[in-house]
Amino acid sequence: MNEQELRGLINEVKDGTVSRRAFIQRLAAVGLAAPLATQLLSFAGVAHAQTQYAYKPTKAGGGGALKLLFWQAVTLINPHFAVGTKDQEGSRVFYEPLAGWDQEGNLVPFLAAEIPSRENGGLAADGLSVTWKLKQGVKWHDGKPFTADDVVFNWEYVKDPATAATTIGSYKDVIVTKIDTYTVKVAFQKPTPFWADAFVGAVGMIIPKHLFADYIGAKSRDAPTNLKPVGTGPFRFVDFKPGDVLTGERNPDYHIPNRPHFDTVELKGGGDAVSAARAVIQTGEYDYAWNMQVEDEILVRMEAGGRGKTMIVQGGDIEFITLNTTDPWTEVDGERSSTKTQHPLLSDPAVRKALSYLVDKDSVQKFIYGRTGIATPNFVAAPARYASKSTSYEFSIEKANQTLEAAGWKRGSDGIRAKDGKKLKMVYQTSINAPRQKTQAIIKQACQRAGIDLELKSVTASVFFSSDVANPDTYTKFYCDMQMYTVTMLQPDPERFLQQFASWEISNKDNKWQGRNISRFRSEEADKAIRASSSELDPIKRAAELIKINDIAITNHIVIPVVTRPRVFAASNKMTTHISGWDNSLWMLHSWYRE
């Protein structure tokens, strides 16, 4: 489809000749994903179509207790400090953004009165600003009104480097101003194609100014409300035991009629993914279990005659191995894995390339993940529009050996390769669950055959994904040579996701290890592509820049993708949930109900 044909089709949508759904289907037929189609309509000034969700209850309350099981326990409930998805999920019970993302990549309003578009005047034609109209009559859980002052404050709070917010990347380069009590304007420094970032989705949850104003900057971690949230969401806070259980009660003043259905909510943490699946699918003890990282054959057995079901929702999440570009074993100015160091082994491109040959992705998919993980060469595998077609993967112990031999890494009497007095011995860590430990074992065995000695380290998930800056075993500290986990892509656009390779996002002591760049990778070429993609309004040229970032990371073997991971959940057969692959799992919690 050329540009003229595309513009003609958009005009047909404008005049009503072609429906939005038909437009999305036509673009999908030529390889353009639904989120991009929606974005094109938005830029063209076509009004957003409100997504409708099934909801049978005719009044709020009466649903009893909703019991949610999170085998990675929630450790904090300030959304701007969340370093793991489970902390975002815990926050989403109480806090809301202006808008969220549905499964088709459409924006759905929460605290916004409407989704900005060219047609309603919300989107500037030059791409330099977006104006949000706020929903009126919304109250914080303590009865105070929600206004534009709260939105502006969130920008001020997050953009302050001393606050050390994990969401700073979405706010630091914009200027937010109050137009009136229920209108705010977000201005960009340059034309910005992906304007739905700040105040949207997982990074957009809004906290109350009147309870956090005294805790901006260096005092941010001292706010009592960090552990006792006061939000606008469907449930009010009752109690929280970090690493264990979080409870809430129905918000009687919730701003959406007849919601929520449930009277109380409980997020129970701990245990493991298999026991969580069993507690929902087999015993029915819980209504829902998050993130079923369980071998597919086990899930299939549980579903036969059980009380629950497995739900698989497509998104952009990726299970991958990241290689440390810095030295985790040398401390500089009180910091290990400092950017002032280079990794003694992995700074050699041949070692990184050899490791990429030693990850048997097809076996991991076949014998471990099945339906719940597909082997991939790319860090960005979805939406399809942004998936590189120039990458590939190959499992070859022979080529790994050849690569190391050619680079001067020779086998010693113990079978381990060495060069310049350095042995190829590394620590490979991940969180504890069966699929990850089995993946580790497969890779360790292949590495042994190539003369690489891997020490396997497994960390309790609540520790590995903790936001505790004093904890040495978090994945953001990266105090080992290589590690494996899943990164969730919480937007149907990879721009923010790919900032994991931006030099300004490096995780370090100064930002309390809250930066998104865990590998500490630095590349002028990658930085240039990231900056270019953030201001390119032409969607085709922008996609090319985003693909380039992926390819830089893959060809330099900074990350080794293992499998794409659709969202996998377990739910009672009586539960109706609304899950999106592009937002938090609990994004539509207010519309869940039990038959």
Token pair, residue 271, equals 């245990």
Mean pLDDT for 570-591 is 95
Q: Using CA atoms of 345, 349, 353, 356 in order, give the dihedral in degrees to the nearest 10.
A: 60
Q: Mean of the per-residue pLDDT values for the chain?
A: 91
Per-residue model confidence as pLDDT tens digits over 262-321 = 999 999 998 888 999 999 999 999 999 998 988 888 998 999 877 999 999 999 999 999
**Tokens found for residue 582:** 């592009």
Q: Does residue 17 carry a pLDDT above 50?
A: no
Residue 181 burial by Cβ neighbours in a 10 Å radius (0-12, 13-18, 19+)? exposed
Task: Summarize the confidence of residues 500-523 as an average pLDDT.
Answer: 94
The pLDDT of residue 2: 59
pLDDT of residue 39 exceeding 60, the answer is no
Given a contact cutoff of 8 angstroms between Cβ atoms, the answer to whether 434 and 405 are in contact is no
pLDDT band at 25 (very low <50, low <70, confident <90, very high): low
d(Cα 96, Cα 110) in Å, to the nearest integer? 7
Q: State yes or no: cis peptide before 344, omega within 30 of 0.
A: no
Q: Any residues with CB less than 8 A from the CB of 180 and at least 6 apart, and which?
A: 148
Q: How confident is the model at residue 138 (pLDDT cuts 50, 70, 90)?
A: very high
More confident: 46 or 483 = 483
pLDDT on residue 84 = 78
User: What integer is the mean pLDDT of 165-174?
Assistant: 93
pLDDT: which is higher, 591 or 11: 591
Flag whether pLDDT at 378 surpasses 70: yes
The amino acid that residue 443 corresponds to is: I
| Rounded Cα–Cα distance for residues 301 and 308 (Å) | 12
Quick one: pLDDT band at residue 14, thresholds 50, 70, 90?
very low
- Is residue 31 very low, low, confident or very high in pLDDT (cuts 50, 70, 90)? low
Determine the Cα–Cα distance for residues 291 and 565; give it in Å rounded to an integer. 10
pLDDT at 47: 46
Identity (one letter) of the amino acid at 458?
S
Cβ contact 589:495 at 8 Å: no
Q: Binning pLDDT at 50, 70 and 90, where does residue 16 land? A: very low
521 pLDDT exceeds 90? yes
pLDDT digits (tens, 9 = 90+) for 454-486: 999 999 988 998 878 889 999 999 999 999 999
87 vs 21: CA distance, rounded Å: 34
C-beta separation of 417 from 423 below 8 A: yes
